[in-house]
Amino acid sequence: MRSILLATVILTMTAMAPHADLSDRTYDTWVTDRGEISLPRDFRKDFAHLGSWFVPEGDASGFHDVYTQPEAVAHYRKTGTFPDGAVIVKELRANSGKPMTTGHPEWANDTLKQWFVMVKDGKNRFPGNASWGDGWGWALFQPGKKGNQSTNYKSDCLGCHIPAKATDWIYVEGYPTLSGN
């Protein structure tokens, strides 16, 4: 009986460990004690690509490439939810196009426009900080400017994400990596 109990405890701890590591790493690396979020360096190399949106015109025109940690993808495929500490980065780049042997392709060029970042917070860590709430930290970064350019997620972000409320505010239909299909 005791050995079954011990085995159960060990199995439970093993199952929880990668998850705990992910949130520890996120909150040690990209979030200060006051809830200031920074843009992960080299996310294009270290994170998994979730999917891309192409916006043909307007302020947001170009490619929106979305990334998260590989551990967050693995957790989502198992549970259909983002784990505590998941960091989602959306990078906006301008596009160029020209006739090529495939037709008239458009590609994401070198002009970076901005980065949107969301950090999963299952613990309501920063009550009273207007960049945190509804289960996430919300941030905006712009080339040449230091730090999060958004000071209030409710006025800067939330309204536009209401259509995705049922899927934890994330537009999951654009991310084939999450389903593995």
User: CA-to-CA distance for 142 and 94, rounded, in angstroms?
Assistant: 14
- Please, which residue, 17 or 54, has the CB nearer to ligand HEC? 54
Partners of 28 in beta bridges: none
Do the bridges between strand 106-120 and strand 136-141 make them parallel or antiparallel, or are there none, so unpaired? Answer: antiparallel
In angstroms, give the least distance from the CB of 156 to ligand HEC. Answer: 4
* Three-state DSSP string of 94-117: EEEECCECCECCEEEEEEEEEEEE
In angstroms, give the least distance from the CB of 109 to ligand HEC. Answer: 17
Return the range that interacts with ligand HEC (CB under 6 A); candidates 39-47, 76-84, 105-113, 164-172.
Answer: 164-172
What are φ and ψ of residue 113, in 5° steps? -100, -55
- Please, which residue, 8 or 70, has the CB nearer to ligand HEC? 70
Per-residue x/- track, 73-112, ligand HEC (CB under 6 A)? ---------------x-x----------------------
Return the range that interacts with ligand HEC (CB under 6 A); candidates 8-16, 96-104, 121-129, 135-143.
Answer: 135-143
Kindly report the number of other CB atoms within 10 A of residue 46's CB atom: 11
